[in-house]
Structure 1
Amino acid sequence: MMDVYVIGIGPGNPAYLTERARSIIAACPVLAGDRRMLAPFEMEGKQLVATYKMEELRQLAVSLLPDGGPLAILVSGDVGFYSLAALVKDLPGCRIHRIPGISSLVYFASLLQTNWHDAYIVSRHGRCDSLTEAVRHHGKVFCLTGGSDTPAALCQTLCHAGLGQVRVAVGCRLSYEDEQVTEGTAEELAGCPEDDSLAVMMIWNDGARPWQRPVHGLPDESFIRGNAPMTKQEIRSIALSRLAPSPDAVVYDIGAGTGSCTVELALLVPMGEVFAFEIDAEARTVLDANIDHFSLNNVTVVAGNAARTLPDVTAVPDAVFIGGTKGNISAILDEIYRKNPACRIVMTAITVETLAAVTAYYAARHDYILDITQVMTARSRHIGSSHMMMAQNPVYIMTAVCKTAPDGERRTSCPQ
C-alpha cells in the first residue's frame, strides 16, 4: 500500500505550514497541487505535478504504484474547509492521510482580531450560497469569494438588497508580502476596482434578525401581475405547505408563470436555491420583475420547455413544485427521479386529463405514494352593501413521496 498525504498548506505563505506538514513534504519525492502551492518547493529536487483535477491525481497515484511514493497532494487552507481533500478518497492501493492546516477563516479572523466561532460561513467559490440572506439573519458572516463573485460584486448585491450599511472587511493575498485588508461599509466597497477573485470577506450586521420560517400564502396583490395564469393565494398556501422544503433545499418550480410560487419558495429556502422553469417569454418578463420586486438572489430562471431544459440543470432537486408541463408530465417526472429518486413532488392541476396522466404514471411506480386533494374555494365580492361568494375553479393538489424515507424508514402515507 502506498501512502498518500493530503496536506493543508494554510493560507499560502510557507511560514504558516505546520511542522507535521513540513516534515511529510520533505519525505515525499512527488508533490501535486495547484502551481501556486507548488512554487515554494521548486528548488528542492522533487517531482512537481501541477494539477488539481481528480482524475489526473488518480492517474498519478496509479503510476507510482507499486514502488513509488509516498505522494503529497497540497491543498490550500485546511483539509476540512471547502477543500479538494473531500474528493481525494478511494484511491486503489493507497492509504490516504489528511494533514490539517490553517484555514483562511482562522487566519483572517486572527488578522482582524476577532473571534470566528460565531461566524456563519458562506462560499461563493464555485458555489451559490446566499450571501444576502446569511447577512440579513446573522451578526457575523465569513465569505469565500471566487470567479465573477468578487468582493465588489458581492457588496453591490448587498446594497441592492438594502444592506449597504453593513460593515465589511476584505482580505486579499492573505499571508503574502503584498497582503491587503480593506474595511468599510458595503456601499463604500461596492465601487472599488475588481479585487482578487480569491479574496475573503468578513461582514458584520448589527441589525441582523434570526431567521424565522415565513408564513406562506402571500396576498395575490403582493405580486406584479401579467397575462399568464397565477397560482392563487389559497392554493399556493396549501401546495407549499405540502412541499415543506428545508431552508437550505434546492427546489425546482416547473411552469413558474409570473412567479408567485417561485417568490414564496425562494423565501422558504433562504439558504437554498430555486430554479424557475418557464417557456413563455411574456410570463418570464413578469417573473423577472417579481424576483427583482422581492430582492431575491437565490433564484435562477431557466427559459424554455422544461422537458428539454431539465437535463441542463446540474443542481439536484430536494423538492419540486409543478404547476404546468405543456403535456410532458411523464418526461418531466422521469428526469426529476433520474436526478433524485427520493425527491418530494407537489403538483397542481385544474383538468381531469392532467389528473389522469399523473395517476397513471404513479400506478406504474409502486415505490411511490401519491396523495390527491381537491380544493374548492370561494371569494367574496361586494354587491352593494352585501357580500356575494364567487366560486373559484376547483384545483387538484397531488403530493408524491418515495416510500423509503432518507433515513431508511418505510412510509405508508404522505407526510402532511
Structure 2
Amino acid sequence: MGEHIGTEIELTVDKIAHGGIAVGRLDGRVVFVSDAIPGETVRARVSDDRKKSFWRADAIEVLSPSEHRRDHIWGAAAIDRDPRGRAGGAEFGHIALEHQRELKRQVLAEALQRMAGLESDVVVEALPGDDAVNGLGWRTRIRLHVDDQGRLGPMASRSHSVIPVTDAPLATPAVQAAAPFAERFLGYDTVDVLAPSGGDARLVLGDQKPTVITERVGERVFRLDDTGFWQVHRSAAVALTDAVQQAIDESLFDPRADNLDLYGGVGLLAAAVADRFGASTRITSVESDERATDHASENLAEWLGASAESGRVDRWLRSLASSASAGDRGRLRSATVVLDPPRSGAGTEVMGLLTSLEPAQLVYVACDPVALARDVALAAQAGYSLSRIRAFDLFPHTHHVEAVATLVRA
C-alpha cells in the first residue's frame, strides 16, 4: 500500500459520515473526503490508502459546488491551501451554518437508527446569538501548539504538524485580543488562551501550575482551575444547565433519593439539578480529577444534601453496587442519574453497572452521537427507553454536536 497516495481523483460525494467527512465511491471503493459537501463533485488527492476497503482523500478543487458552500470562515483552512497546510479545528467552515446543523442532525439520527433501532425527529438547535455573527467568536478557550520555530497555531487535520496562524475567528474577541500570535514560544509545547466569564483573559504555558478562576452561569459563580475542564462555547454552560433541568421528568424525581452526577467536573450539572429541585435535594457528584472534586465540593456547598467524591466512575459504581444495602438500593431505584462522559461515552461496563442499580431515569449529556447511540442501545437491553432527546450546536463550524437524552426505566 502507499502507491496511490498523492494521486488525484474525481468523484461525487453523497453523504456525511461521523467525524464530519464526506463519503463517495470510486470504482466501488469507499472514499472519505475532507472539505467536501454531500452532493458535490470534487477533485481530491488521496492521503491514505492503507485499507483495502476505503481510502482517505482531501478535496483540492470543487467541480460542481453545493448550494450550501461558502467561502471558508478561516483563510488558514481554505480549500485553496495545500491540504497538508490547512489548519484543523474548523472542518465545517466552508458550509452554510444552517446546513451544518442539518448534517449534524443526519449523523445523530442515523447513529440512533443504526445502533439503537430508533427513529428520531431531533433537530440541532442554535445557541443564542450565533446566527447573528455567522457562528463566529464563541470559543472562550483555545489551545495553540508550538512549532519548531516557536510559532503558534493549531494542528493540521489528522496530523501532528503545527500550522502557524495569525488569527482564530472561532475565538471570542477577548481570546483573540489576548492570543500572542506574533510572539515566539520556544521551550513550550502548547499555549492555552482563555477568557473566563469571571475575569480577564490569560495564558497558560505548557504544563504551568494551575491557578483558580471563576465562571459565571446566571447568578451562580463556579470555581475551577484554569487548566481544568469547562464548556468552551460562551453560552454552553447556561444552555446545558437549562437543558438538563428540562430533561428531568419531574414525576420521576425524588429529592431524597441517592441522585448522582457522574463525570461531574466542578459540579455544574449537579448544581443545575439542585437549583431546579431545591435545598433538600440529595445529589452526589463523582469525578476522577481530584482538584475538580475539591472545587465541586465548594461549588455545591450551599446544598446540605450535595456532595462530591473523587473516583473513576466505573470503580465508584462497582464499589457502590457491591456494598449497597437494601435501603441503599431502594434510594437508588428512586434516583435520577445525570452523566456527562468523555467523548468515548460511558461504555459497556459503566452502563451495565448503572442500569443494574435500576435508577428511575438517566439524563445523558453526550458530545459524540455514535457513543450516545451505542449507550442508548445498551440501556435498552436493560429495560430503559429513550423518552426525549435534544441536540445543540455548541461547536459551530466543526462537526461536533452536543445532545441531552432522557432514558427512563420501563
TM-score (norm: length of structure 2): 0.37
Bigger relative contact order (CA 8 A; separation at least 6): 2
Larger Rg: 1
